[in-house]
Amino acid sequence: MREYHYIITVQKPNSAGYMSTTRAGIIISSGTRQELFEQIFVDANPERDANVIYFSLEPNKLAA
């Protein structure tokens, strides 16, 4: 299992135009990048019409 740091920003329309939300965190998994993206996206609990405008997934451990 590896530890990854992620950042995800989702945007959705609202009455004033658009609203965006950014989340960051750590996730531990041995899955694929796609599986991790899907898990992170669902955990972000976006509304139905939300779009991802930024996603980053990197190993959390820095090189020695």
What's the distance, Cα to Cα, between the start and end of the chain in Å? 19
Strands (E), 15-63: 17-29, 51-59
Is 64 within the bounds of a domain? no
Is 31 within the bounds of a domain? yes
**Looking at the predicted structure, is the pLDDT value of residue 64 above 80?**
no
**Looking at the predicted structure, is the pLDDT value of residue 47 above 90?**
no
Is 52 within the bounds of a domain? yes
Is 54 within the bounds of a domain? yes
Find the mean pLDDT for residues 1-27.
Answer: 94
Q: Which amino acid is at 30?
A: S
Query: Domain range holding 13?
Result: 2-59
**Looking at the predicted structure, is the pLDDT value of residue 44 above 90?**
no
Is 10 within the bounds of a domain? yes
Our count of domains for the chain comes to 1
